[in-house]
Amino acid sequence: MNRTDRLYALVEHLRACAPRRVSARALAARFEVSVRTIERDIAALQQGGVPIYADVGRAGGYTLDKSRTLPPLNFTPAEAVAVAITLGRAEGSPFSRSARTALQKIVAAMSAADSESARELAGRIRLFAPLEADEPASVPAVLEEAMAARRVVRLTYSDKDGTETERDVEPVVFTGGTRTWYLVGWCRLRGDARIFRIDRVRRAVLLEETAPERRLEDLTDEPPNMAIRALEFV
């Protein structure tokens, strides 16, 4: 059994056993590998976002949270690659880190044969990408957390002339396309609604304060030459 097949089988075995815990030694015996190999496999799955938890001690072992995982999905290889292309274009967006873990979960939930076919097809796809990112890698993640938790965020922002200002912003919505993303929020420095290009945010710090609830419809500022529509989420 190759590693891809073993990782898939490992997740399914833990799902079938949950909530009972399974020791690394028992898993090693089942898959005919060393305990150290099982530990490396579990670590790789955890880093990929699979909700596997470990308890130490004689009665300890690994268990998987069934409520946060998917059974095998009926994605065709082409459908999985289509999702990968879409998620691959999320780089630089507020949810780029979550896009990567989502794709890993989808692939892990597919059958071994379909997963291998999808990987082979994906190997024949190439995307254009900038040589260097304009913003620090941490900025989109901080803004994502600010929006999800509805927290005020402190931005160091560079305008089109390169002038930097520091301002506290109450996040309202993200808007954008495949490359350019904006944070629409209430700027306390200006006392008005403002739109911030995410690639011009030099630093972002999450504050402890909860932002008051504001609606996009109550704000007057709009991106130039753009129409805003809601994300279609089925």
Q: With bands split at pLDDT 50, 70 and 90, how would you rate the model's confidence at 39?
A: very high
Tokens of 162: 């390169």
The answer to whether the peptide bond before residue 19 is cis (omega within 30 degrees of 0) is: yes
Give yes or no for residue 143 having a pLDDT over 70: yes
Give yes or no for residue 96 having a pLDDT over 90: no
Supply the angle between the helices 35-47 and 3-17 in degrees, to the nearest 10.
80
Q: With bands split at pLDDT 50, 70 and 90, how would you rate the model's confidence at 131?
A: low
Spatial separation of the C-alpha atoms in residues 116 and 145, rounded to whole Å: 34
Give yes or no for residue 82 having a pLDDT over 60: yes
Handedness of CA 42, 45, 49, 51 (dihedral sign): negative
CA 178 to chain centre: 16
Residue located via tokens 């979960």: 105
pLDDT at site 125: 86
CB atoms near residue 67 (< 10 Å): 7
Give all domains of the chain, ordered by start, each with its CATH number. 3-68 (1.10.10.10), 77-122 (no CATH), 138-218 (2.30.30.520)
Dump pLDDT digits (tens) for 169-197: 999 998 876 668 899 999 999 999 999 99
Separation in Å, CA 225 to CA 29, 89, 92, 181, 228: 62, 22, 21, 14, 10
170: left (phi over 0), alpha (psi -120 to 50) or beta: beta
Dump pLDDT digits (tens) for 51-65: 899 887 666 799 988
Residues 48, 101: contact at Cβ < 8 Å? yes
pLDDT at site 99: 80
pLDDT at site 172: 92
Tokens of 191: 């006392």
pLDDT at site 135: 46
Spatial separation of the C-alpha atoms in residues 145 and 68, rounded to whole Å: 20
Residue located via tokens 């939930």: 109
Q: With bands split at pLDDT 50, 70 and 90, how would you rate the model's confidence at 220?
A: low
Residues 105, 70: contact at Cβ < 8 Å? yes
Separation in Å, CA 38 to CA 23, 31, 124: 10, 9, 31
By CB neighbour count within 10 A (0-12 exposed, 13-18 middle, 19+ buried), where does 232 fall?
Answer: exposed
